[in-house]
A and B are shown apart, each in its own frame.
Chain A
Amino acid sequence: AQTIHQWPVAEIKAVGSPLSLGCTIKGKSSPNLYWYWQATGGTLQQLFYSITVGQVESVVQLNLSASRPKDDQFILSTEKLLLSHSGFYLCAWVRDWGLAETLYFGSGTRLTVL
């Protein structure tokens, strides 16, 4: 069975400080991976997606960047946090049921920027 792990679970960071969030998926080779952002009580905004190592496509940047250093790893980062970066960050992967790909989310990282 596939498992997706995100780290850290939560972060409290200062404005202007750097950030690195990680996501690892086990049990699936060459997964399509995604980063989503959610403001408190808000909708889900796709940030980046990656279909292979070293390749990342940006959907909405929000002064963030993403990298795919390994087949099973997806990293979200920034050198300088803004207050607007606060929220819930979710890594996701898709499972192809033959009819449609279905998105499954990791447990998320809650980020508070002060």
Chain B
Amino acid sequence: GDSVTQTEGLVTLTKGLPVMLNCTYQTTYSPFLFWYVQHLNEAPKLLLKSSTDNKRTEHQGFYATLHKSSSSFHLQKSSVQLSDSALYFCALSDSGMGYKLTFGTGTSLLVDP
């Protein structure tokens, strides 16, 4: 079956530094990848999505590129802010259908002043 791996449970950074949160996936079908961000005591919100190989997608200063050759969809930002502190989930759909989303375990990003 499908799976999503997020290797970092917690990432701690100082404001202004770059960040990369890792996401790799496994599927035998054509992948649709998503990043969701969840701030404390809030619901997850869609941050990015992509199904196009080697095309960078950006939103709110975050960006990610789907690389089918390495089955990766890492999330990056060039300069983190305090407000970026949150839980980030990578998710995979192998069909383009929302009810078949597989979520990773999540990465907590903590930004220090």
Q: Is the CB of A42 within 8 A of B106?
A: yes
B46 interfacial contact with A, CB 8 Å:
yes
Tell me, rounded to whole Å, the shortest Cβ–Cβ distance linking A45 to chain B: 8
> What residues of A have a CB within 8 angstroms of the CB of B99 in the complex?
32, 34, 46, 49, 94, 101
Q: Determine the distance from Cα of A105 to Cα of B108 in the docked complex, in whole angstroms.
A: 19
Tell me, rounded to whole Å, the shortest Cβ–Cβ distance linking B21 to chain A: 14
Interface of chain B residues 16 through 71 with chain A (CB within 8 A): 32, 34, 41-46, 49, 51
Q: Is the CB of A101 within 8 A of B44?
A: no
> What residues of B have a CB within 8 angstroms of the CB of A1 in the complex?
none
Q: How large is the interface on B (under 10, 10 to 19, 20 to 34, 35 or more residues)?
A: 20 to 34
Q: Determine the distance from Cα of A32 to Cα of B98 in the docked complex, in whole angstroms.
A: 9
Q: Determine the distance from Cα of A42 to Cα of B106 in the docked complex, in whole angstroms.
A: 7
Tell me, rounded to whole Å, the shortest Cβ–Cβ distance linking B108 to chain A: 7
Partner among B44, B93, B106 whose Cβ is within 8 Å of the Cβ of A105: B44
A102 interfacial contact with B, CB 8 Å:
yes
Beyond A34-B98, A49-B99, A100-B96, whether A43 also contacts B105 by CB under 8 A is yes
Partner among A41, A43, A90, A104 whose Cβ is within 8 Å of the Cβ of B104: A43
B→A interface (CB under 8 Å): 32, 34, 41-46, 49, 51, 87, 89, 91, 93, 96-99, 101, 103-106, 108
A→B interface (CB under 8 Å): 32, 34, 41-44, 46, 49, 90, 92, 94, 99-108, 110
Known: A102-B49, A103-B46, A105-B45. 18 other contacts (CB 8 A): A41-B106, A42-B105, A42-B106, A43-B89, A43-B106, A44-B89, A46-B99, A90-B43, A94-B98, A99-B96, A100-B49, A100-B97, A100-B98, A101-B99, A102-B46, A103-B91, A103-B101, A106-B43
